[in-house]
Amino acid sequence: MTHGVEFTHVVDRTLNALADALGADGAALMLIDDHDRPRAVGGSDADGRRLELAQEQAGAGPAFESLSRDTDIVIDDLRAARPSGFPGVAEKATGVRAVLSVPLHADDRVIGSLDFYDRVSHEWQPAKVRAGRRLAELMVMVLKALAHKSTFSGQS
């Protein structure tokens, strides 16, 4: 098993565990790559992957807002009209309604965004937003451990 393949399994299982820990239907990941581009890394399920891809293609969405503003973005219903929702993204991520997007920090740098999502629209409670923020730290730990000492050949 190559590093890359093994790493995808670790990230997959981490996203699933974080979603379980928050009591969300799923979790998905957008990361800044080595060319400073936001990349849709994937999700705990197909809906999560679609959510990230839709945002990457649109160049907009809660993960992008969270990245660029370096703050939590709370979307009660993705289908709502702007600025409450992102209907363009929602069209391509039909299984996702409520999204909580939190920035990922490695030291002082924003390295990406972690999206928690539910399949029904709802208001995000402040306690859940705070928990999402702390869980993002665990995601960063996993990513740092994967990046640590690893050798990645080639360029994207």
Partner 1 sequence: MTHIDQEALVASLRGLQMTVPATGIVHQLERAVEVVDTLFGYSGAGLMFAGDSKELRYLVATDDAGRSLEGAQLHVGRGPCISTFESDAAVMTTDVRDDPRWPELAERLHPDVRAVAGVPVRLGGEPVGTLNVYQSTPYEWDESDIQALYAYANVIEQILTAAIAAEEKSALADQLQYALDYRVVIERAIGYLMGKHDLTAAQAFTGLRKQARDSRRRVADLAAEVLGEGAGELR
7 binds partner 1 (CB under 8 A): yes
CA–CA gap between residue 92 and residue 102 (Å, rounded): 21
The residue range among 61-69, 79-87, 102-110, 114-122 that interacts with partner 1, by the rule CB under 8 A, is 102-110
70 binds partner 1 (CB under 8 A): no
**Comparison of 49 and 97: residue with beta carbon closer to partner 1:** 49
The residue range among 12-20, 68-76, 93-101, 117-125 that interacts with partner 1, by the rule CB under 8 A, is 12-20
Helix axes 46-58, 62-69, angle to 10 degrees: 60
Q: From the CB of 24, what's the least distance to partner 1, in Å?
A: 11
Among residues 69, 71, 91, 147, the one that binds partner 1 under rule CB under 8 A: 147
Give Cα 19 distance to the centre of its chain.
11
CA–CA gap between residue 73 and residue 107 (Å, rounded): 21
The residue range among 28-36, 66-74, 76-84, 88-96 that interacts with partner 1, by the rule CB under 8 A, is 28-36
112 binds partner 1 (CB under 8 A): yes
**Angle made by CA atoms 92, 98, 100, in degrees to the nearest 5:** 105
Calculate Rg over the CA atoms of the chain. Answer: 15
Token pair 């937003």 in the structure block, residue? 129
Amino acid at 12: D
Which tokens sit at 141? Answer: 């730990």
Please report, as ranges, the residues that interact with partner 1 according to CB under 8 A.
Answer: 3-14, 16-18, 20-21, 23, 31-36, 39-46, 48-49, 106-107, 109, 111-112, 131, 134-135, 137-138, 141-150, 152, 156
